Structure 1
Amino acid sequence: MRRVLLALVLLLGAICPAWAAEPKRQVIIDDEGFAIPHLMLLEDPRVDVLGITTVSGNVWANRATAMVLRGLELLGRTEVPVAEGATFPLLNSEARTERWEALYGKMVWKGAFMKQWAEPTAQSTPPYHGPFDPVDLPWGNPKLKALNEPAAQFLIRTVRAHPHQVTIIASGPLTNLALAQRLDPEFASLVKELIIMGGSLAPRQVLEGKSAADFAREFVNTPRREFNIRFDPEAASMAAHAPWPKVTIVPSDPSTATQLSPALLERLAKASRPPVAAFLRRMEPGFPMWDEIAVAVWLDPGIVTKSERLWYDFNTDFGAGYGDMLTWHDAYRPHLDEGQADVVLSVDVARMETLMAKALGER
């Protein structure tokens, strides 16, 4: 009998993928919508998505929550809990943003505050909504409901239930993380790792073509500004001073070498099961792949071709540099409890696109 059992174990080990024997990596997604990065994590059998928290950023939190709930319904992943987060930044507001622009110039992207592009662009103009406007999604409204619990409280409860095991991938403004840390001073220290898509050092246009240039042009004169941080600079600075055991930052820099092209969207759709493919074919192409890089770096750190370990914070003075990323090498840091992170500067784009396709089912 022992020989039979041993043979069975050896046989299963030979025919099952290597990841089948490994414990799943636990993650919480903190973001302001539902897109390819969510699909990558939800479809990857090696990943256990413990929950999705929403926050205002590209859209208001109520709209982001509806998008996530509907996305989970379409994917058949209704068991994943969703907690709606902060509707407003800690201090910044639409009125303050308009006043800032009157003083210091127009921003390329303003997310939920966006009414029109400053100049003609290849991307469509998003519809403008108020923070409490009713939500009516073009791909159907969800029947699934969010938890009756704020995102900050969900983050605290889930991390405390799995201490030192949970990665948080924050691909939107950091309002929820700042609130969670203020509510529970031990919160950050109990997280395994924080991945931030935000900040900017010195991006340059890499790809040719109007779609690629539309976003790269922002960095010519304002290389340190990035939307996720600029939407809530106070929250970003608070998060920078929290005691995370490990932080990886994906700033805008590597995104200028990427583009969600029609060809890539079709490749991902062909790799996916039908409900995912239908979702992908509704997406607008032409945007850089900001959040996709953050998720890909976590799934496969080997895609990183250049990174630098830096001390970091974010500018909260309401001046021309409001929301800009601040960074220092060891000898120059101010020693005011600023954070330290591995900052991703470039990635292997072809390897990343293959990783995306494989996460969605390409064989």
Structure 2
Amino acid sequence: MRPPFLLIDTDAGVDDALALMLALGHPEAEVVGVTAVGGNVPLEHVVPNVFEVLHVMGAEGVPVFPGAHEPLLPGERVHATEFHGEDGLGNYERRRARVRPEREAAAVAIARLAREQPRELTLVALGPLTNLALALRLEPELPRLLRRLVVMGGAHTAHGNTPRWASEFNFYYDPEAAQMVVQAFEELTLVTWETTLAHPLPWEEHERLAGLGTSRARFYDAITRRTRAFLEGRDAPGLLVPDPLAMLAALDPGLITAEARHRGWVETCGTHTRGQLVLDHGRSGLEPNARVVTGFDRARVLERFHHMLAG
């Protein structure tokens, strides 16, 4: 499979930053743009966070398009500052990268770029799917214009991480947007919360990566300290990297060792299930549209982190 042209939609928390670094550090992939959405932290933090990562990676020329501040509908939502820090990047001391976003809105940019490069772009969605849902309203042909859609989102066994117990954060934050996207695409790849839990970076490996001595490794070390403290307080065996796993699924599908195919929906009601990913196990008679990733080659994932941080 040829290296992808990437369009990355992000709410720019710590794991988003690591995913962006993997994409920008890939020797063959090209990042054609980054679209920003509120989620892990408010949008006013997301955009500067993206520019901070671009600065660290020497990629200031990548255009950044501000997107949705809020979900499609008003209502319950929480940010994930306990995990990511108040600023979304672990409250680390910044270099104050120049912040110069594009004037074009994220949804408009997604639709335009897809039309300009039909069947060429891989869209990697790392946050709530609000920008993508809005882009679908602007360009209903978007599912056929994109080469691939890879989403970090959903909990395929209802092992959620939000106040709605069965829901993963990105789908919980904007369930209507998630439902619109999952229903619109006849082919999408999902990297879920349970897959994240099953593939942590062990702490000893994390320490090796943080100690590589490069500017990228020092940045990695700085932004993950808050997240590490949060996870160690809950006896996690390593650093959880949901968005990097989704990015690696986009960059190199050969890293995927196990997957299952289902028809998918997203629940928009329910006391405990609003935002839940619902998968058909053969009863609907509909063709599967969601490729749910359940396994990665752990050794090669570590190699990709090492290669990126050592560069």
Structure 2 counterpart of 1:175: 130
Given the superposition, is the C-alpha separation of residues 361 and 278 from structure 1 closer, same or farther in structure 2, using an over 3 Å criterion? closer
Given the superposition, is the C-alpha separation of residues 279 and 137 from structure 1 closer, same or farther in structure 2, using an over 3 Å criterion? closer
Which amino acid letter does the alignment assign opposite residue 86 of structure 2? P
1:177-205 Cα distance to aligned partner (Å, 9 max, x none): 0000011111221000000100012277x
Match of 1:225 among 148, 167, 170: 167
Within-5 A mapping of 1:1-363? 24-33=3-12, 34-93=16-75, 96-97=76-77, 110-111=78-79, 126-127=85-86, 138-202=93-157, 218=161, 222=165, 224-243=166-185, 246-269=187-210, 274-282=214-222, 283-284=224-225, 285=228, 286=231, 287-332=239-284, 340-361=289-310
* Mapped partners of 2:156, 2:53: distance in 1: 33
Structure 1 stretch 260-269 or stretch 305-314: which is displaced more?
260-269
State the Cα distance separating 1:92 from its structure 2 match: 4.2
State the Cα distance separating 1:230 from its structure 2 match: 0.2
Which amino acid letter does the alignment assign opposite residue 189 of structure 2? T
Given the superposition, is the C-alpha separation of residues 359 and 70 from structure 1 closer, same or farther in structure 2, using an over 3 Å criterion? closer
- Tell me the TM-score normalized by structure 1: 0.73
SS at structure 1 position matched to 2:283: helix
- Contact 2:216/2:310 (CA < 8 Å) preserved in 1? no
* Mapped partners of 2:99, 2:70: distance in 1: 24
- Contact 1:203/1:252 (CA < 8 Å) preserved in 2? no
1:234-283 Cα distance to aligned partner (Å, 9 max, x none): 00001112145x311111121112334553344334568x3312211202
Q: Larger Rg: 1 or 2?
A: 1
* Mapped partners of 1:66, 1:171: distance in 2: 16
Which amino acid letter does the alignment assign opposite residue 192 of structure 1? R
- Contact 2:185/2:289 (CA < 8 Å) preserved in 1? no
- Contact 1:55/1:84 (CA < 8 Å) preserved in 2? yes
* Mapped partners of 1:145, 1:339: distance in 2: 41
* Mapped partners of 2:20, 2:129: distance in 1: 17
- Contact 1:303/1:352 (CA < 8 Å) preserved in 2? yes
Task: Name stretches of at least 5 consecutive residues in structure 2 with no aligned partner.
Answer: 232-238
* Mapped partners of 1:331, 1:339: distance in 2: 11
* Mapped partners of 1:356, 1:162: distance in 2: 29
* Mapped partners of 1:61, 1:35: distance in 2: 15
Given the superposition, is the C-alpha separation of residues 163 and 55 from structure 1 closer, same or farther in structure 2, using an over 3 Å criterion? same
% of aligned pairs identical?
30
State the Cα distance separating 1:162 from its structure 2 match: 0.8
Provide the alpha-carbon RMSD of the alignment.
2.8
SS at structure 1 position matched to 2:263: strand
State the Cα distance separating 1:225 from its structure 2 match: 1.4
Q: How many residues align?
A: 293
* Mapped partners of 1:265, 1:146: distance in 2: 32
State the Cα distance separating 1:61 from its structure 2 match: 1.3
Structure 2 counterpart of 1:212: none
* Mapped partners of 2:51, 2:20: distance in 1: 12
- Contact 2:199/2:296 (CA < 8 Å) preserved in 1? no
- Contact 2:201/2:302 (CA < 8 Å) preserved in 1? no
- Contact 2:63/2:102 (CA < 8 Å) preserved in 1? yes
State the Cα distance separating 1:35 from its structure 2 match: 1.4
